[in-house]
A and B are shown apart, each in its own frame.
Chain A
Amino acid sequence: EPEVTQTPSHQVTQMGQEVILRCVPISNHLYFYWYRQILGQKVEFLVSFYNNEISEKSEIFDDQFSVERPDGSNFTLKIRSTKLEDSAMYFCASSATGASGNTIYFGEGSWLTVV
């Protein structure tokens, strides 16, 4: 079964450093997403991306965050200057369409620890 893959699985970074989390969505999917889960809290929506632009973003997704599809297969999340509160599990996801009820497939997550 096709799956979303994420790298790295775990990254430790110093506060103020830039971090890039990478994702390879399922190959024929057109919609891409990032979610995050702070330890002990709910999984939260960050951003959705379609046709090379952000289609929706949450209040969490401020100017410190950016997303990019640098080539035909990768989808990245960049955090420009990490803060302690950015420590979380970040999930990449993709779906074939953006229609309501369409299945969204998630990766295994990238665990980011900011020290």
Chain B
Amino acid sequence: AQSVTQLDSHVSVSEGTPVLLRCNYSSSYSPSLFWYVQHPNKGLQLLLKYTSAATLVKGINGFEAEFKKSETSFHLTKPSAHMSDAAEYFCVVSGNYGGSQGNLIFGKGTKLSVKP
């Protein structure tokens, strides 16, 4: 069975400093992995996804994530935080092998706070 663990429920950084949101996954096959972001009172927006192509994936708003099979990790990073990055971030793994991938499995989320 697939699962996702987000290691931090809350991360606080200062504006202009790097962001690291940690995610470990468990999967019995090569997974598809995603990071979604949810700003207050907004829907879930896809930041980036890994689907067995390049292991370093670049997303929107300067975020990127690296798939490390040996560490079963898919940590999200950004070199320099902006105030608008304050939101909740979800690491997600596709639940099903092969065809249907609608059964996404979400982590508990990491709330990112950015201090001025």
The chain A residues found within 8 Å of chain B, CB to CB, are 3-4, 31, 33, 35, 41-45, 48, 55-56, 58, 91, 93, 95, 98-109
Contact = CB atoms under 8 A, between A and B. Distances in A.
A14 B105 CA distance: 30
Interface of B: 32, 36, 41-46, 49, 51-52, 90, 94-109
Contacts of A107: 43
B44 A100 contact: no
A100 B29 CA distance: 12
B91 to A, nearest CB: 11
Given A100-B94, A101-B49, A43 B99 contact: no
Given A45-B95, A100-B99, A106-B44, 9 more contacts: A48-B100, A55-B100, A55-B102, A58-B103, A99-B101, A102-B101, A103-B49, A108-B42, A109-B43
Contact of B106 (A33, A43, A56): A43
B43 A95 contact: no
B22 to A, nearest CB: 16
B111 to A, nearest CB: 12
A45 to B, nearest CB: 5
B108 A42 contact: yes
Contact of B103 (A48, A99, A106, A109): A48
Contacts of A93: 44, 102
Contacts of A3: 43
A109 B42 CA distance: 8
29 contacts: A33-B102, A35-B104, A42-B107, A42-B109, A43-B44, A43-B90, A43-B104, A43-B106, A44-B106, A45-B103, A48-B102, A91-B44, A93-B102, A99-B101, A100-B94, A100-B96, A100-B97, A100-B99, A101-B49, A101-B52, A101-B94, A101-B101, A102-B101, A103-B49, A105-B46, A106-B36, A106-B43, A106-B45, A109-B43
Nearest to B43: A108
A31 B108 CA distance: 25
A86 B45 CA distance: 24
Contacts of B100: 48, 55-56, 98, 100
